[in-house]
Structure 1
């Protein structure tokens, strides 16, 4: 008779184990919020990864574009979602700039999100109109020092990375180039090509064909090491401005207090995708290099970036358009 209670205990344990296994993450579709309209680099990267994550999970990963408000709308949706791993946010470097631009965000960038995985580093490239007569970062700095306030640089929007990359350049080089904001990278590039502005910190994707055709000059990439997307281009740091580094990185976060299990599972699925040659090649097409980093390393990057951009934005009193 004693064997009967023991049998019941064993059966309960087996049923409990089976139920736990059945509910292993994910057991239903995952929503990937992209806080940008369709068509941009963030959207392209999300749609590149989503089907591969789906294959790894055995569940659909659904890309949900929630553009508007300089990413605030989509970010708020995720910040206030249930922290269970089923709602994710695709972020870029601008995510860490917004705390300095907006005094009253509807969420706390540092506390309301849990880092998951760093996807890649996107270099920007400092480009100049040929009429400027400079062929390196050092030559541009020398010219800007001779002509304070006379050289104009384009940006694709006030307060975004193309703007702040230039202001960081101004600060570290001790120069003053004037800001001319545009509504997008293409109109900014159009005016650079026409010679209406002197320089532009452009995405690689926008600048590369014009560099290759000789219509503009590439002076250096913004990242700490040379970019595979422009392998022959020196870094700005090595070509005249030591210590300069700006990365247009991309990553995934979840609502704060998301359990470790789904975070680890998502991290593993994304890293598996990033090791695929086809994925690496397509990322390079938009100027992004796949990165392998732990969740903890990604969290530290976010902390550093928030502090870094605060030091650039706050003293200048930059506000979004």
Structure 2
């Protein structure tokens, strides 16, 4: 009897262990959800959808994009931080992941403690643009206009924590004059207001602005990168315009909940690396000036280093500006 019980126990144990082992070996066995912390149609959403398609091909599973907009990206970040630790929920977030600790007094998660890091993804340049009938005709004239008009200038942004807000903060600091900032619930309504002449100036990512610039719907004054951009080759950098240290690039990273199994993380990182070599993805992003990061940055370690450094950088600027949210 005892021998039969031992055999039965071993058989049951093997039956339980086998599916678990098979499940670990076949990750992913169902669709993966890519959470985007901003509204559909915005720059991060556009990047996420291109990335999801390429990663899905590598994983052999559909990567479903889920938009969870609100509170400058913190709602989505908190959702992913609390999600199941199985590799099936990941987060694509931009520079806002590093500014949230400075902007929010009561952040419900810790960017450095509550996530696993999969790797950096892409750098998106920004443009400084104005309403079609803005008097300034050149970047230099725009800087003079901002200084002279001060708070008479309406500077639009896509909401607290948005890249457009951060770029606008830097622009005001660099010029040495405070504009009247006008927040919107997303990039699309802010751009609509700029095109319609309801606001004067705005910073935003090339993924969103290049089509409007090419169509002549907004005035382009400069790009925020160190070097000129291929899709906007005639546009000077803001450094060329006289702002010596002005440089803003919206970096993006891929995250999973803390405690996600190493095997799943390795599979996801492998799929990320494969996606960032996909000629179709590179071609789509190149059209709007988006640069896939070099291979050495497509690692968990590189993303963690970037995030930690940027938290320090933006925290100091935000404290200086006195911009907070409860």
Name the SS for the 2:150 alignment partner.
coil
1:317 is aligned to 2:322? yes
Structure-1 separation of matches of 2:246 and 2:262: 35
Q: Which residue of 2 aligns with 1:4?
A: none
Name the SS for the 1:131 alignment partner.
coil
1:306 is aligned to 2:311? yes
Q: Which runs of 5+ in 1 are unaligned?
A: 1-15
Q: Structure 1 residue 20: deviation in Å?
A: 6.3
Q: After the TM superposition, which of the residue ranges 307-316 and 29-38 deviates more from structure 2?
A: 29-38
Structure-1 separation of matches of 2:24 and 2:192: 53
Q: Which residue of 2 aligns with 1:86?
A: 88
The 1:286–1:105 alpha-carbon spacing in structure 2 relative to 1, beyond 3 Å, is farther
Q: TM-score, normalised by structure 1?
A: 0.81
The 1:108–1:214 alpha-carbon spacing in structure 2 relative to 1, beyond 3 Å, is same
Q: Cα deviation per residue 1:132-160 (whole Å; 9 max; x = unaligned)?
A: 22312x33223333343333322222442
Q: Which residue of 2 aligns with 1:9?
A: none
CA RMSD, Structure 1 to Structure 2 (Å): 3.0
Q: Which residue of 1 aligns with 2:141?
A: 139
Q: Structure 1 residue 276: deviation in Å?
A: 1.9
1:4-83, aligned counterparts within 5 Å? 23-24=24-25, 26-29=27-30, 30-83=32-85
Q: Structure 1 residue 116: deviation in Å?
A: 0.9
Structure-2 separation of matches of 1:145 and 1:34: 36
For the 8 Å contact 2:86–2:264, the answer to whether it is kept is yes
**How many residues were matched structurally?**
305
For the 8 Å contact 1:203–1:287, the answer to whether it is kept is no
Q: Which residue of 2 aligns with 1:294?
A: 298
The 1:140–1:87 alpha-carbon spacing in structure 2 relative to 1, beyond 3 Å, is same
Name the SS for the 1:176 alignment partner.
coil
Q: Which residue of 2 aligns with 1:273?
A: 275
The one of 253, 256, 260 aligned to 2:255: 253
Q: TM-score, normalised by structure 2?
A: 0.80
Q: Structure 1 residue 286: deviation in Å?
A: 5.6
Name the SS for the 1:67 alignment partner.
coil
Instruction: Give every structure 1 segment of 4 or more consecutive aligned residues whose post-TM-superposition deviation is greater than 6 Å.
Output: 19-22
Name the SS for the 1:32 alignment partner.
strand
